[in-house]
Amino acid sequence: MAEPGEKAVVSVLSESAWDARLAAARAELPFARRHWLALGLADSPQLRLVPTAVRWGQSDEVLVPLCVSGRRAQIGCYGYGSLAGPAARRGEPVDFADLAEAVCRDQGLAELTTLLPPEGAFPGLDRQSGHWPTRPGRDTYLLDLGEGARVVWQAARGSCRTAVRRAGALGLVASAAVPGHEDELLRLHRQTLARHDVESALSAPDLAFLVGGDHAVTTVVADDDGLHAASVFAVGAAGAFHIMQLTSERGRAANAGHLAFWSAVTELAERGVRTVDLGAATGEGHARFKTGWGAVAAAARVVHWRNGEAR
């Protein structure tokens, strides 16, 4: 929290400086990493990334993945907004108004917004930003993994368990994605979006970080003919976040998506993840998939500051 009259120092960082400082910082959410930001920027070409550091006096530096369009900006552009600071923090968390005023003054912006997970979903994040003034956003769906994958399986709707068993009975096998799967993941991404008349803006190198790393759990389902489904989760200190559910036409017919999803959830539970945010639902079928596995709807939170607002 800034002291009264204390002026913020705002610095725009190079990409290499951003990566180095982020590696030394603690971020509850994973979405400040440039790999995730690159996915969001590909889908939103009107945005430009301005990696920003803000400091008040002798306080700890706050890293802000500022994404700018005209005179408006948002924190992050993929998943939730994510700030980062040193792993050993001193002092009070920053107020959103102080942060917004500093970066908007430095960049000549009129407003700043961001999106946070539901209140109480991730206690570490609430300690950082739980005091920010918010309004309710769209519902997201939270899956409790605190009692382990076995409890989730037992509580899941029977149709979900049947779908997983059917995929296995049809000869489909789930495994962790490995380097070399990038082209197949891109193919699945294109096929999935094409069913909604959307063209993928990604390339295979954009997806390379999803395989074999610590910041994502990606499970694929395949047979002798190749990959038929993939389930992708971003993993951070706070928990995990369902990012992509990809299927081929063969995969849809054989319930490969259910098998990929369940295998990924099992992996997350083995890693000790306690809460998984499954994201918003785009329709009734989408919502049934999430609630079928036991996820509960809760409102995400929108934070917005406009230049000139009373403090």
DSSP string for 152-208: HHHHS-HHHHHHHHHHHHTT-EEEE--TT-HHHHHHHHHHHHHTTT------GGGGG
pLDDT value at residue 128 = 86
Predicted pLDDT of residue 85: 83
Does residue 2 sit within a domain?
no
Our count of domains for the chain comes to 2
Supply the CATH number for residue 206's domain: 3.40.630.30
Contact between residue 144 and residue 264 where contact means Cβ atoms under 8 Å apart = no
The residues, any chain, with a CB within 8 Å of residue 287's CB and separated by 6 or more, are: 141, 281, 297
Query: Do 230 and 171 share a structural domain?
Result: yes
Q: Is residue 177, in this structure, part of any structural domain at all?
A: yes
Report the candidate in 164, 123, 129, 163 with the shortest Cα–Cα distance to residue 146. 123
State which residues of the chain have pLDDT below 70.
1-5, 86-91, 309-311
Q: What is the 3-state secondary structure (H, E, C) of 152-168?
A: HHHHCCHHHHHHHHHHH
Instruction: Report pLDDT for 127.
Output: 87
8 A C-beta contact, residue 223 and residue 174? no
> What integer pLDDT is reported at residue 90 of this predicted model?
53
Statement to judge: residues 112 and 193 lie in one domain:
no
Question: Are residues 128 and 47 part of one domain?
Answer: yes
**Residues of the chain above pLDDT 90, percent:** 82
Residues 171 and 122 in one domain: no
CA-to-CA dists, residue 141 to 77, 233, 276, 280, angstroms: 20, 14, 8, 6
Residues 112 and 81 in one domain: yes
Tell me, what's the pLDDT at 88?
41
Q: What is the pLDDT of residue 60?
A: 79
Q: Is 94 exposed, middle or buried (0-12, 13-18, 19+ CB in 10 A)?
A: buried
Assigned domain for 289 exists: no
Is residue 172 domain-resident? Answer: yes
Q: Which domain range does residue 118 map to?
A: 8-137+301-306
Q: Following DSSP, what letter does each residue of 107-166 receive, concatenated?
A: HT-SEEEEEEPPTTS-HHHHHHHTTS--EEEEEEEEEE-TT-HHHHHHHS-HHHHHHHHH
